[in-house]
């Protein structure tokens, strides 16, 4: 409900969830499972129905104004959105849809109503959880409101299956939200391994080609941040670490490049302008290159061009960026939080760091700069590790979850008369 699979990820509310939905929908369709995706119409110009690929339709539901709304404004549009979804189904013969899979709590609320009306199972993916987010707030971040917590609890209670990205998220669903463990399944997200791969399998020469294309110096030490620019992702930690590195080793100033790829998301100091100002205050403005969000084929070039991708987030339910970077042969230095502990294998495909102290990041990044062989070993480990995360495996598991939900939910639960 709050973002569209047709949006460019990496800015605003469009991120990993959008990628997830597109990737699984395409693959489900390829296996003969037709998918309709409902999303809110944010412009009058959007067609009521758009084909994403054969077998996958994106349906634009008119609910509220034709403009982007802040997530906190969306609960007011739930009623209109739900009725739009129900009206679409009512135009078909009963039984048109076999199963609902909702993503994020707002859509989960819609699924809760639709499940009862249609008598079909509801599978829900939280993607992020208010209770977890609020426990790891970055400075300047606003806590998630109590309405969201309550809304999530209702969805957890009503869903027939809950899909978690990692075992840790599965545990949090049980411990923090009281989910029935029998209804929780861990399904690891994937990476498009045909898109995110080291060029021609040669890590070093792939880096050189990518740097030429992106206009980066051949001999630079390139640190990359990719993602929505928001306090939760802590891009400021990377800038502060970079400043410390050049302070400790002034010669590095000639070689260091920090690339930040992504657009603004939410409010607060971590917006691109705020980061630019921070770079200026830290005296490293000339070393930082800001790039707007870009499509994934271009993003793959950024990963290949980088020596290290840095993911200092305060929380990630998985962290697709970390998996994609590794698939391109780039080691990842990440905060040891949430799904990043699954996405990155400490000491094999990258380095996990406890906490967000820039000094710790500077120390690890300086060591990697000084030890190219260690970087190369991690780069090889990164490719190996990323190969655990193909989307086809994700879809295999999801189909098992769907089948389980369909066989155990034989009867409409509290269906309203049609
Ligand atoms: N992304 C993109 N272009 C960009 C920046 C990001 O396509 O310029 C994609 C990226 O490939 C990844 C997703 O956005 O698949 C971000 O997912 P992640 O799980 O890292 O973070 P989230 O946005 O879900 O917090």
Q: Total structural domains in the chain?
A: 2
**77 known member of a binding site:** no
Q: Is residue 339 in contact with ligand 1, taking CB distance under 6 Å?
A: no
ipTM of the complex: 0.99
170 in any annotated domain: yes
190 Cβ inside 6 Å of ligand 1: no
**85 within 8 A of 114, measured Cβ to Cβ:** yes
As given in the structure block, the two tokens for residue 236 are 């400021």
Ligand 1 pocket, residue 216 CB under 6 Å: no
Structural contact between residues 310 and 223, judged by C-beta atoms closer than 8 angstroms: yes
Domain co-membership, 31 together with 162: yes
Residues 252, 155 share a domain: no
**What distances in angstroms separate CA 91 from CA 84, 85, 88, 94, one per listed residue?**
11, 10, 6, 9
252 and 160 within one domain: no
CATH (domain of 276): 3.40.50.2000
Distance 120 CA to ligand 1 centre (A): 31
Distance CA 288, CA 127 (A): 31
- 263 in contact with ligand 1, CB cutoff 6 A: no
Question: Are 183 and 314 in the same domain?
Answer: no
**The tokens of 29 are what?**
């369709």
Together in a domain, 181 and 67:
yes
d(CA 353, CA 241): 13
Q: Tens of pLDDT along the chain (418 residues)?
A: 999 999 999 988 999 999 999 999 999 999 999 999 999 999 999 999 999 999 999 999 999 999 999 888 999 999 999 999 999 999 999 999 999 999 999 999 999 999 999 999 999 999 999 999 999 888 778 899 999 999 999 999 999 999 999 999 999 999 999 999 999 999 999 999 999 999 765 556 678 899 999 999 999 999 999 999 999 999 999 999 999 999 999 999 999 999 999 998 875 545 678 899 999 999 999 999 999 999 999 999 999 999 999 999 999 999 999 999 999 999 999 999 999 999 999 999 999 999 999 999 999 999 999 999 999 999 999 999 999 999 999 999 999 999 999 998 645 555 554 4
The answer on whether 175 is annotated among ligand-binding residues is: no
Atom 1 (ligand 1): residue with closest C-alpha? 10
Whether residues 216 and 365 share a domain: the answer is: yes
Inside any domain, residue 267: yes
Atom of ligand 1 nearest to the CA of 291: 8
Ligand 1: centre distance to CA 320 (Å): 6
Paired tokens of 123: 């599978």
The verdict on 112 and 125 lying in the same domain is yes
CB of 19 closer than 6 A to ligand 1?
Answer: yes
Q: Is 114 annotated as a binding residue?
A: no
Q: What is the domain range of residue 374? A: 205-389
Q: Is 299 within the bounds of a domain?
A: yes
Asked if 128 and 260 sit in the same domain, the reply is: no
pLDDT tens sequence across 306-351: 999 999 999 999 999 999 999 999 999 999 999 999 999 999 999 9
Examine the domain organization and report whether 82 and 213 are in the same domain.
no
Both 384 and 396 in a single domain? no
Task: Please indicate, yes or no, if residue 163 is contained in any of the structural domains.
Answer: yes
């Amino acid at each position: 409900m709050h973002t569209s699979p047709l949006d460019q990820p990496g800015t605003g509310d469009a991120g990993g969830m959008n990628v997830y939905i597109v990737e699984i929908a395409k693959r489900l369709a390829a296996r003969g499972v037709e998918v309709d995706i409902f999303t809110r119409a944010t412009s009058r110009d959007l067609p009521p129905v758009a084909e994403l690929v054969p077998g996958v339709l994106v349906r634009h539901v008119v609910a509220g104004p034709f403009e982007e709304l802040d997530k906190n404004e969306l609960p007011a549009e739930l009623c209109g959105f739900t009725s739009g979804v129900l009206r679409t189904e009512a135009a078909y013969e009963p039984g048109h849809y076999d199963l609902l899979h909702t993503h994020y709590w707002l859509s989960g609320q819609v699924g809760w109503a639709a499940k009862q009306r249609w008598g079909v199972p509801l599978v829900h993916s939280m993607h992020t959880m208010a209770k977890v987010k609020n426990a790891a707030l970055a400075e300047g971040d606003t806590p998630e409101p109590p309405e969201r917590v309550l809304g999530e609890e209702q969805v957890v209670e009503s869903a027939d299956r809950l899909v978690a990205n990692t075992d840790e998220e599965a545990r949090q669903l049980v411990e923090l939200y009281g989910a029935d463990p029998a209804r929780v399944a861990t399904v690891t997200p994937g990476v498009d391994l045909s898109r995110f791969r080291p060029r021609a399998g040669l890590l070093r020469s792939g880096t050189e080609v990518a740097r030429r294309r992106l206009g980066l110096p051949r001999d630079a030490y390139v640190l990359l941040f990719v993602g929505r620019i928001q306090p939760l992702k802590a891009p400021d930690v990377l800038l502060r670490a970079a400043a410390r590195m050049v302070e400790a080793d002034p010669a590095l100033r000639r070689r260091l490049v920090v690339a930040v790829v992504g657009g603004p998301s939410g409010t607060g100091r971590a917006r691109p302008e705020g980061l630019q100002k921070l770079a200026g205050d830290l005296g490293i403005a000339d070393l930082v290159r800001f790039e707007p969000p870009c499509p994934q084929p271009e993003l793959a070039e950024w990963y290949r061009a980088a020596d290290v991708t840095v993911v200092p987030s305060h929380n990630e339910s998985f962290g697709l960026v970390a998996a994609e970077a590794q698939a391109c042969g780039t080691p990842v230095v990440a905060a040891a939080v949430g799904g990043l502990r699954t996405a990155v294998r400490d000491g094999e495909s990258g380095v996990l760091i406890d906490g967000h102290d820039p000094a710790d990041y500077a120390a690890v990044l300086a060591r990697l700069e000084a030890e190219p062989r260690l970087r190369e070993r991690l780069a090889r480990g990164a490719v190996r590790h990323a190969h655990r995360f193909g989307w086809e495996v994700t879809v295999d598991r999801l189909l098992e979850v769907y089948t389980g939900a369909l066989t155990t939910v034989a009867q409409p639960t509290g269906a309203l008369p049609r």
